[in-house]
A and B are shown apart, each in its own frame.
Chain A
Amino acid sequence: MKVSLAWLKQFVDVEQPAAKLAEILTHAGIAVDAVSRVTLATAQAGQSVNDEVLELDLTPNRADCQSILGVAYEVAALTSKTVAEPVGVSVGKARVSGSHLAVEIQAPSLCSGYLGLVLDVAVGESPLWLKNRLEGVGLRPVNNVVDITNFVMWELGQPLHAFDYDRIVGQRLIVRRSLPEESITLIDGTSPVMPEGTLVIADATHALAIAGVMGGLDCEVSTATRRIVLESALFERASIRRTARALGLRTEASLRFDKGVDPSGISRALQRAAYVFQLLGVGQVLGECIGSEPLYCPCRPIQVRPERVNSLLGIDLAPSEMQAILLRLGMPTQVHGDVFLVSVPSRRGDVVQEIDLVEEIGRIHGFNNIPTDIMRGEVTQGRLTEDQRWLRSLRRTLLSLNVDEVVTLSFYDPENGTKFMLLEHHAFRRAVALANPLSRERSTLRPTLMPSMVEVLGYNQARQISGMSVFEIGTVYLPHAEKPLEQQNLCLGAYGVREGNWIEQSRPLDFFHVRGLVEKLLPDAEFVVGQESFLHPGRQAEIWQEGAKIGYVGEIHPLVGLKERAVVAEISVAGIPTSLGKPLYRGISASIAVERDIAFLVNESISAADILARIREAGGERITSATLFDVYVGTNTPLGMRSLAIRLELTAPGGASFTEAELSAILGKLRHVLEHAFGAVWRA
């Protein structure tokens, strides 16, 4: 909403410069986005005048400020001035029909009031002052009739519409809902088919205007127009909004009806328009207002307790000061004991209950005049739940493992099924769809974090970043009968190397890097050869924990199209043991551990995990650790075999130390077990 300072000053005395006024309004909740200077022509050629224009960014509740007069009331309240009401001419009281016109409201639920006034007009160009008023607030002058309707709308907030009277068949206006497939040619030249039930103004033959939105071409005021019907009406807000949205027509009129107009203003707008026609000498009223006025309460009484105002705002204002504030807002009060009975004018449709008046008093008193006061009351324990602390600990564990954190959008491209070569019934093809997405790429909600991770890795590969190792903890959305399930997943992603320098070698961020991270989170997990189609068939594993598959880790399949190899793991957060990050102290042995290395050849098909598990099992409490430190396949290993070297840490119970004989016995037994179970060929 643009407000011309010169126009505003017609109704209220403004002493402040525009910038100061903007500040005052902004601090009262009427946000002024910008103050600009406009230059307007004068009657003298080559001379101009300046005006200043305030651009308001109104909150949805302040429909009353969608007019110069409404802003004038607000300025008056804020600066303790009075408003000079606009001048109008009185016209005859409303009747359903008169000598010149009849009005029939067939859809009263969508139109609570409708007045038509017939005028004899001389269509022509508007005088300079009127054109300046309109141009100052960004409206384009058309002809004096249209200009006067726009002028009155801007000034009073009530949209007006002018029909060419002589083109109305039967001189009877009907307010009705549109018929199926009914269309109308509008003044902008388009001919939309209206959604059925759209409110229209029609004559006996066809629709002449889309009510409250835009007029039709047939009755448009032109230079040939001799008589007009000026329409001033009150249309139902939601109906106007639906129509404007459906047809993509957001006009100044529809915006005002959408937010709500003052029900008391419809006849006043006609009186004001008639006055301007007379003032310009371009129009004479014929007969009286035809139609019916809306029913409304001119001033609704609302109760407010001054004590409640003070306690909610945290201030200590005397009741008389509150009364003074309310009076400035045009809301006189009657005192009944401890309660005020406040009369609220009809233009303030947003003020309906006590809390609204609390806000009004606070707003005018000034939020900056409200003190700060430290909250008292019962002490509460600020704490995280067990689950929240655990999730925090998971994040911190990952950060302590030097994995960077990323955050990506929850949206998912249904084409991912193809991109990642997923089988027809793969869970990652079953995504929750949005009814009104912004684009195909973001038309569903992700059932997996993996594609987002692949996108992050690919983005950085394309930018020559030598490598990264990142994680995201995020929600995945799984289709479910009543309502989609939301589940927390952890996704790890890595590619390239962590670069070394003159003294250190680069560290590869490969499959075993990611697997190592997973092992840190899931020390007891089992890794079983996997078969996901989006992963390298020879470099992927399912992750199993306590008998359940909780995720996967693998290199992204080359056909996915990444520039470089990349590895991704995805794990259901619920599958990660909650013991993570919680120390479990077991004491330290009094014995000093001894290390022994063993090496043997074994068939390649035998998994290292099985061998290590067997060693731990066979060693019992005496083998306190078994670390695979070398895997070797080369010219001196027989075909189909590989050499494994394992470092054992042996600890004798109870602070004792093993004798060489005992050590030999343990290792001998172990050798026997491995030879027997896996056909291991001992090397050392």
Chain B
Amino acid sequence: MELIDRLKRVTAEALAKIEVLDSVTALQDYRVSLLGKKGELTGILRGMGTLSPADRPSVGQLANEVRDQIEVALEAKTAALAATELAAKLKQERVDVTLPGRQPYHAHVHPLNRIIEEATEIFLGLGFSVAEGPEIESEYYNFEALNVPPLHPARDMQDSFYLHDGHVLRTQTSPVQVRTMQALSPHYPIRIISPGKVYRRDDDATHSPMFHQIEGLVIDKDISLAHLKSMLLMFARQMFGAEREIRLRPSYFPFTEPSAEVDVSCGTCGGRGCRVCKGTGWVEILGCGMVHPAVLSMSGYDPEEVNGFAFGMGVERIAMLKYNVEDLRHFFVNDYRFVRQF
């Protein structure tokens, strides 16, 4: 029968053709030309309508077999080619992974603000709030209310910047403590820190006329030097490392009594003595003490009812110790080679 011959011939041709086609696209095109609506095989099958009913089943069966055979061959070849092509594509897409990546830029926090933020986090965790106040202060808040009498050397024009109207650039952030106490008295407890810029009339390799301080104040019932010591130990360990120790040396500040300087064990040598700690194993980090009864009274508290402690540290000093910065002036020059290291 002519139709059967044509089917067999087309099938043989198709299988041969599939064998030689060498791309997935070519196979797809060929599939359409053979099996699509207008395809060759489809055309032949359409011709089955002219067959006698007796022939139809056998021819129909053959047609299905042929179609399946071609489909299977197409699929097999397509899969084989797809795998080869993918392999080739992947091979071709190879990159030199040793080349550097796109460089995302990340911003640098100034080291002084980094220290202030870190200290703030530590004290927030200990139940402190942050209090702020003006940098231009009255002599009353900067000196008198802090128990610095008019004749005290600290009030000398040599040491503080004055404005023509008699205001002074605060020499420490303690005025904020007084302002807070006056605002809250007679209520307690008070637990605050006050970070900020302060000014002293000094300009040399180890002094900047403007620098930063963080001061702290606690007012409550039954506060003792032992509480202060424990608070500072917690701070020192969080700021500098869990293995650090502190020690207190008696000192003098008008605002506090008893007063102490606080040393932290040297992180460079672990306390054995080195250049950083000048061989002592300790480096000074802050000053502190029990709030002077006169300061409490002036701020509206009864020293017989409540007391408290205060401490203050230089942010530049902490940053220099923590990051081994050798020159104070780096902090204010903002050389990009410095800035980008933080």
Given contact pairs A372-B226, A404-B108, A406-B339, A385 touches B130 in the complex (Cβ within 8 A): yes
Is B125 part of the contact surface with A, judged by Cβ < 8 Å?
A: yes
Q: Are B336 and A438 in contact (CB under 8 A)?
A: no
Is B14 part of the contact surface with A, judged by Cβ < 8 Å?
A: no
- A395 to chain B: which residues have CB within 8 Å? 113
Q: Are B252 and A311 in contact (CB under 8 A)?
A: no
- A356 to chain B: which residues have CB within 8 Å? 257
- A559 to chain B: which residues have CB within 8 Å? none
Is A181 part of the contact surface with B, judged by Cβ < 8 Å?
A: no
Q: Chain B contact residues (Cβ within 8 angstroms of A): what range? A: 35 or more
Given contact pairs A60-B153, A367-B250, A408 touches B226 in the complex (Cβ within 8 A): no
Stretch at the interface among A24-32, A85-93, A609-617: A24-32
Q: Are A245 and B158 in contact (CB under 8 A)?
A: yes
Stretch at the interface among A39-47, A496-504, A636-644, A671-679: A496-504
Is A587 part of the contact surface with B, judged by Cβ < 8 Å?
A: no
Stretch at the interface among B41-49, B61-69, B85-93, B215-223: B215-223
- B124 to chain A: which residues have CB within 8 Å? 382-384
Within 8 A of B (CB), among A247-296: 258
- B222 to chain A: which residues have CB within 8 Å? 311, 377
Query: Which of B161, B224, B339 is the one whose CB lies under 8 Å from A314?
Result: B224
A483–B125 Cα distance when bound, in Å, is 36
Across the interface, name the chain B residue whose C-beta is closest to A503.
B102
Q: Are B208 and A409 in contact (CB under 8 A)?
A: yes
Is A96 part of the contact surface with B, judged by Cβ < 8 Å?
A: no
- A362 to chain B: which residues have CB within 8 Å? 225, 250, 258
Is A62 part of the contact surface with B, judged by Cβ < 8 Å?
A: yes
Within 8 A of B (CB), among A327-373: 353, 355-356, 358-359, 362-363, 367-368, 370-373
Within 8 A of B (CB), among A448-465: 456, 459-460, 463, 465
A262–B151 Cα distance when bound, in Å, is 19
- A503 to chain B: which residues have CB within 8 Å? 99, 101-102
Query: Which of A31, A237, A438 is the one whose CB lies under 8 Å from B201?
Result: A438
Q: Are A355 and B250 in contact (CB under 8 A)?
A: no
A403–B220 Cα distance when bound, in Å, is 42
Min distance, Cβ B313 to any Cβ of chain A, angstroms: 17
Is A475 part of the contact surface with B, judged by Cβ < 8 Å?
A: yes
Query: Which of A62, A382, A409, A442 is the one whose CB lies under 8 Å from B123?
Result: A382
Min distance, Cβ B317 to any Cβ of chain A, angstroms: 15
Given contact pairs A384-B130, A503-B99, A312 touches B113 in the complex (Cβ within 8 A): no
Q: Are A456 and B227 in contact (CB under 8 A)?
A: no
Is A131 part of the contact surface with B, judged by Cβ < 8 Å?
A: no
Q: Are B107 and A399 in contact (CB under 8 A)?
A: yes
Q: Are B220 and A378 in contact (CB under 8 A)?
A: yes
Given contact pairs A370-B226, A382-B124, A435-B162, A407 touches B334 in the complex (Cβ within 8 A): yes
Given contact pairs A311-B224, A383-B124, A398-B107, A407 touches B332 in the complex (Cβ within 8 A): yes
Is B249 part of the contact surface with A, judged by Cβ < 8 Å?
A: yes
Query: Which of A245, A411, A460 is the one whose CB lies under 8 Å from B156?
Result: A245
Stretch at the interface among B70-78, B163-171, B173-181, B267-275: B163-171
0/1 string, A479-521, CB within 8 A of B gives 1: 0000110100000000000101111100000000000000000
Given contact pairs A483-B165, A483-B167, A486-B136, A410 touches B210 in the complex (Cβ within 8 A): yes
Is A635 part of the contact surface with B, judged by Cβ < 8 Å?
A: no
Q: Report the count of interface residues on A (CB-CB < 8 A).
A: 86
Q: Are B336 and A312 in contact (CB under 8 A)?
A: no
Total number of A-B contacts with CB less than 8 angstroms? 231
Within 8 A of A (CB), among B101-128: 101-103, 105-110, 112-113, 120, 123-128
Q: Are A435 and B103 in contact (CB under 8 A)?
A: no
0/1 string, B130-153, CB within 8 A of A gives 1: 101011100000000000000111
Within 8 A of B (CB), among A378-404: 378-385, 388, 395, 398-404
Min distance, Cβ A29 to any Cβ of chain B, angstroms: 3
- B165 to chain A: which residues have CB within 8 Å? 483
A371–B152 Cα distance when bound, in Å, is 33
Q: Are A28 and B136 in contact (CB under 8 A)?
A: no
Given contact pairs A237-B151, A382-B127, A62 touches B224 in the complex (Cβ within 8 A): no
Q: Are B197 and A475 in contact (CB under 8 A)?
A: yes
Is A432 part of the contact surface with B, judged by Cβ < 8 Å?
A: yes
0/1 string, A218-249, CB within 8 A of B gives 1: 00000000000000000001100100010000
Interface centre among A356, A433, A436 (most CB of B within 10 A): A436
Given contact pairs A312-B224, A378-B220, A403-B107, A470 touches B230 in the complex (Cβ within 8 A): no
Query: Which of A368, A407, A436 is the one whose CB lies under 8 Å from B110?
Result: A407
Is A477 part of the contact surface with B, judged by Cβ < 8 Å?
A: yes
Across the interface, name the chain A residue whose C-beta is closest to B131.
A385
Q: Are B226 and A432 in contact (CB under 8 A)?
A: no
Is A318 part of the contact surface with B, judged by Cβ < 8 Å?
A: no
- A358 to chain B: which residues have CB within 8 Å? 257-258
Q: Are B210 and A409 in contact (CB under 8 A)?
A: yes
Min distance, Cβ A255 to any Cβ of chain B, angstroms: 11
Within 8 A of B (CB), among A628-677: none
Is B240 part of the contact surface with A, judged by Cβ < 8 Å?
A: no
Query: Which of A29, A373, A465, A486 is the one whose CB lies under 8 Å from B249?
Result: A29
Q: Are A313 and B136 in contact (CB under 8 A)?
A: no
Is B17 part of the contact surface with A, judged by Cβ < 8 Å?
A: no
Min distance, Cβ A104 to any Cβ of chain B, angstroms: 27
- B293 to chain A: which residues have CB within 8 Å? 353, 355
Q: Are B252 and A370 in contact (CB under 8 A)?
A: no
Q: Are A407 and B331 in contact (CB under 8 A)?
A: yes
0/1 string, B47-58, CB within 8 A of A gives 1: 000000000000
- A405 to chain B: which residues have CB within 8 Å? 107-110, 113, 339
Min distance, Cβ A189 to any Cβ of chain B, angstroms: 25
- A371 to chain B: which residues have CB within 8 Å? 226, 229
Q: Are B227 and A373 in contact (CB under 8 A)?
A: yes
Within 8 A of B (CB), among A129-173: none
A188–B149 Cα distance when bound, in Å, is 33
Is A49 part of the contact surface with B, judged by Cβ < 8 Å?
A: no
Q: Are A484 and B136 in contact (CB under 8 A)?
A: yes
- B38 to chain A: which residues have CB within 8 Å? none
Q: Are B231 and A375 in contact (CB under 8 A)?
A: yes
Q: Are B128 and A382 in contact (CB under 8 A)?
A: yes
Interface centre among B124, B125, B249 (most CB of A within 10 A): B249
- B126 to chain A: which residues have CB within 8 Å? 382
- A313 to chain B: which residues have CB within 8 Å? 224-226, 258
Interface centre among B100, B101, B103, B107 (most CB of A within 10 A): B107
Q: Are A367 and B162 in contact (CB under 8 A)?
A: no
Q: Are B156 and A62 in contact (CB under 8 A)?
A: no
- B290 to chain A: which residues have CB within 8 Å? 312, 355
Query: Which of B107, B164, B220 is the one whose CB lies under 8 Å from A433?
Result: B164
Q: Are A59 and B252 in contact (CB under 8 A)?
A: yes
- A502 to chain B: which residues have CB within 8 Å? 99-100
Q: Are B335 and A383 in contact (CB under 8 A)?
A: no
Q: Are A375 and B130 in contact (CB under 8 A)?
A: no
Is A199 part of the contact surface with B, judged by Cβ < 8 Å?
A: no
Given contact pairs A355-B293, A460-B335, A463-B335, A382 touches B163 in the complex (Cβ within 8 A): no
Is B260 part of the contact surface with A, judged by Cβ < 8 Å?
A: yes
- A501 to chain B: which residues have CB within 8 Å? 100, 102-103
Q: Which residues of B contact A (CB under 8 A)?
A: 99-103, 105-110, 112-113, 120, 123-130, 132, 134-136, 151-153, 156-158, 161-165, 167, 169, 189, 191, 197, 199, 201, 203, 208-210, 218, 220-227, 229-231, 233, 247-252, 257-260, 290, 292-293, 307, 331-337, 339-340
13 contacts between A and B (CB under 8 A): A29-B251, A238-B151, A312-B290, A313-B224, A314-B225, A355-B258, A358-B258, A377-B222, A382-B126, A435-B157, A437-B161, A456-B333, A484-B163
Q: Which 8 A-B pairs have the closest CB atoms?
A: A314-B226, A29-B250, A314-B224, A59-B252, A372-B230, A373-B226, A359-B258, A382-B124
Other than the given A26-B249, A433-B163, A434-B169, 9 more pairs (CB < 8 A) read: A237-B151, A313-B226, A374-B227, A382-B123, A382-B191, A406-B334, A410-B210, A445-B169, A504-B102
